[in-house]
Every structure is written in structure tokens, then in C-alpha cells.
């Protein structure tokens, strides 16, 4: 089994297309400049020390070096030893509110960032539980299906923003329905839904959906983000405080009553997010106290790292590129 120990470092490879486009644009610009002097092949052949294709070859060496070093940085690993272990856990679906009200700054740095931090803390404490990620506002979207690859979920979390859901609102009932479909339909236990929201503008179907989920064996925990006093919202279009139709500042407030009612209907608990670690510990206590299902399987317990080979390849490519001359230093001597 192959894996990357630090898979999020691979995001750096996204720079490669940018570098390639810049290189092609630079080559095109140089060709146009040379073309203004006369016939391009003829002018190029007269340039002192010019070596055809040398700049392209050096650029390819740099791209290979960059790719190899990035892969080495992420540390490619292969499982070297397997072991039959008895694993137990539960399935946990996170439903994260990404409506624009989650950008309110009544808790620092803002509600959405604190919600992400909470989920990160919880996954740091997990070992065998499967997790899934749903984002919702006016509609719900399944971002990651149930998995034990916590790094993948964390990577997706880094890109979560209100822009992912064009329809605004807080249709938590749709998120609950999607969560029900994400769980195994053959089991009536081992399932939990964690809803993280400011509770503002919930749809009327949310409570009925929560009861439906409870009937399907899903325990619902809710986490309130924000403060009852609320906070004004920033409007990126006007670059000022967002105003309503009457010209008054829009204030987003935490609706604890709605979130508490969902938790009660879902036979779970409600927590106000003040201290991230404290809430993460309480939720993990609730999840670990649930009946666990057996996940016995063969797992890799030891991994061999291969970062050194990729780093060596990258350094060799850099050395070759550095030693390779960009032009021929020998001048042609014209004979009579």
C-alpha cells in the first residue's frame, strides 16, 4: 500500500502549470522580438553561442527537479508489515454550515474558521472511526464520503468557503437527509451526525428530518458557533457593513434554541463553541461512549519511506541544470 505521509504538500505541484505557461509565454515573447530583426531562424543562427533547444532542456530539468523534491517533501511511503488487528469504531458525518453568516467575527478569527479548527481537533483524536464531510447553506453537498483517511478530509476542509454553495440560506434539513443517505442502510446503530452551525434561518423541515434520522439510528450532536448578541456582516461587494432593505446593518445572531431542539430530537447533545479543545473532548467522549462496530481487518503497521530517493533525484537534476551551459562559449572563427 502506497501513501504520502504529508499529502497536503503535493498542493505545491499546482505551481507546475503556472511555470509552464510562463515559460511558453516568455519563449513566444522572445520569438516576436527576434522576428522584428529579420528572418527568425537566420537571426537565431547568428546569435553568439546560441544552442538550439538548450533553454527548453534546462527548463525541463528544473521541472523534474521541482516535482521530485515535492514528492520527497510529501514523503512517499509503502507498507512493509501487515498485522491482523481488531478495530472498532463508529461512522461520523460532519455537516458544516458554510452560509455567509459563518464569516461573522463575533468569535475570532471568524465562525467558519473556528468550526474547521474544531473538526481538525476531533480528527486528531480519532483512530478507527470513519468520517464524512457535508457542507450546506441553501443546498447541501457531500464533499467526502465515509473514510478513515483523515488527511484527505482535512485537505478538503482547507478549501471550504461560502463560495462553494451558490444558494444561500441554512437548509439543515437537506444536510440531515444527505447524511442519512451517506450511512449504511443495513445498520440502525453506530452512526452519528455532528451539525456545526450558527443556527440562523433554519428551514422548517429540519426538526422533522432530525426525528427521521433518529428513527434510522442516527444520533445527532449540534455545535453552536457565534454569540447570542451577534455581529454585523461584511459585504465584499460594497467593502463595508452589509445593510438590509431598510438601510440598517445586518446582524447575524446565534440561534441556540434551534440547535438545541435538533439535538433533543436526535437523542444527542448540544455544545456552545467557546473553547475548541473542551468541546472536541466532550464530543469525542460522546462518540466513544456509543456502541462500537467491529472493523477487524489487515492493516499496515510499518511503512518504509522513500523521500531520500526523490530528494536525491531532484538535487541531481538541479546540479545538471547548473553545470549545463546556457550558451556555447567558443566563438566561431571566420576563415577567409
For residue range 293-312, list pLDDT tens digits in order: 666 555 555 778 889 999 99
Phi-psi category of residue 75: left, alpha or beta, with phi > 0 → left and psi -120 to 50 → alpha: left
Q: At what angle do helices 111-125 and 150-158 cross, to 10 degrees?
A: 170
* Model confidence pLDDT, tens digit, residues 230-287: 777 776 666 667 766 666 777 778 889 999 999 999 999 999 999 999 999 999 999 9
User: What pLDDT does residue 82 have?
Assistant: 63
Please name the helix (run of DSSP H) or strand (run of DSSP E) that holds residue 80, with its range, or none.
Answer: strand 76-85
Q: What was the pLDDT predicted at 61?
A: 94
Instruction: Reply yes or no on whether the pLDDT at 212 is more than 50.
Output: yes
Nine cell digits for residue 8: 497536503
User: Domains of the chain: which residue ranges?
Assistant: 2-81+302-323, 87-294
**Which DSSP string do the residues of 106-140 spell out, in sequence order?**
SSSS-HHHHHHHHHHHHHHH-SS-EEEEEEESSSE
CB atoms < 10 A from the CB of 251, how many?
A: 16
Specify whether the CB–CB gap between 280 and 92 falls below 8 A: no
Task: Say whether 248 sits in a helix, a strand or coil.
Answer: coil
Q: What is the structure's pLDDT at 43?
A: 55
User: What pLDDT, on the 0 to 100 scale, is given for residue 135?
Assistant: 94
User: Cell digits for 196?
Assistant: 456545526
Q: Enter the C-alpha cell of residue 252.
A: 447575524
pLDDT one-digit tens code per residue, 46-104: 554 556 677 889 999 999 999 999 999 999 888 666 655 556 778 999 999 998 888 88
pLDDT, one tens digit per residue, over 142-160 is: 999 998 889 889 989 988 9
Those residues whose C-beta lies under 8 Å from the C-beta of residue 239, and which sit 6 or more positions away, are none
Tell the residue number behind the cell numbers 465562525, with chain if given.
111
The highest-level CATH class for domain 87-294 is alpha beta
Q: Closest by alpha carbon to 198, among 231, 176, 225? A: 225
* Torsion region of 293: left, alpha or beta (phi above 0 gives left; psi -120 to 50 gives alpha): beta
pLDDT at 195: 96
- pLDDT on residue 335: 43
In this prediction, residues 189-213 reach a mean pLDDT of 87
What confidence category does residue 331 fall into, taking pLDDT thresholds of 50, 70 and 90?
very low
Amino acid at each position: 500500500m502506497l501513501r504520502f505521509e504529508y499529502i497536503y504538500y503535493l498542493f505545491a505541484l499546482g505551481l507546475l502549470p503556472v511555470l509552464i505557461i510562463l515559460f511558453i509565454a516568455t519563449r513566444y515573447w522572445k520569438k516576436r522580438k527576434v522576428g522584428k530583426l529579420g528572418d527568425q531562424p537566420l537571426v537565431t543562427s547568428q546569435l553568439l553561442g546560441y544552442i538550439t533547444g538548450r533553454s527548453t532542456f534546462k527548463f525541463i530539468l528544473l521541472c523534474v527537479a521541482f516535482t521530485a523534491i515535492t514528492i520527497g517533501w510529501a514523503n512517499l511511503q509503502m507498507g512493509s508489515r501487515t498485522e491482523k488487528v481488531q478495530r472498532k469504531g463508529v461512522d461520523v458525518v460532519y455537516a458544516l454550515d458554510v452560509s455567509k453568516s459563518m464569516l461573522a467575527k463575533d468569535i475570532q478569527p471568524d465562525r467558519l474558521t473556528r468550526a474547521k479548527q474544531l473538526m481538525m481537533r476531533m480528527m486528531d483524536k480519532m483512530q478507527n472511526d470513519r468520517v464524512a464531510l457535508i457542507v450546506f447553506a441553501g443546498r447541501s453537498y457531500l464533499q467526502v464520503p465515509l473514510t478513515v483517511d483523515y488527511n484527505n478530509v482535512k485537505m478538503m476542509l482547507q478549501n471550504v468557503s461560502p463560495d462553494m454553495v451558490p444558494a444561500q440560506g441554512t437548509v439543515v434539513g437537506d444536510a440531515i437527509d444527505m447524511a442519512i443517505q451517506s450511512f449504511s442502510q443495513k445498520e440502525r446503530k453506530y452512526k452519528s451526525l455532528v451539525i456545526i452551525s450558527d443556527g440562523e434561518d433554519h428551514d422548517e423541515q429540519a426538526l422533522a428530518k432530525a426525528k427521521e434520522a433518529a428513527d434510522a439510528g442516527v444520533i445527532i450532536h449540534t455545535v453552536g458557533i457565534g454569540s447570542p448578541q451577534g455581529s454585523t456582516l461584511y459585504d465584499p461587494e460594497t467593502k463595508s457593513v452589509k445593510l438590509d432593505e431598510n438601510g440598517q446593518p445586518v446582524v447575524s445572531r446565534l440561534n441556540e434554541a434551534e440547535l438545541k431542539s435538533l439535538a433533543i430530537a436526535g437523542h444527542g447533545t448540544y455544545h456552545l463553541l467557546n473553547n475548541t479543545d473542551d468541546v472536541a473532548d466532550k464530543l469525542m467522549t460522546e462518540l466513544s461512549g456509543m456502541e462500537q462496530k467491529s472493523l477487524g481487518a489487515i492493516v499496515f503497521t510499518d511503512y518504509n519511506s522513500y523521500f531520500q530517493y526523490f530528494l536525491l533525484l531532484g538535487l541531481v537534476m538541479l546540479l545538471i541544470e547548473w553545470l549545463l551551459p546556457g550558451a556555447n562559449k567558443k566563438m566561431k572563427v571566420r576563415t577567409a
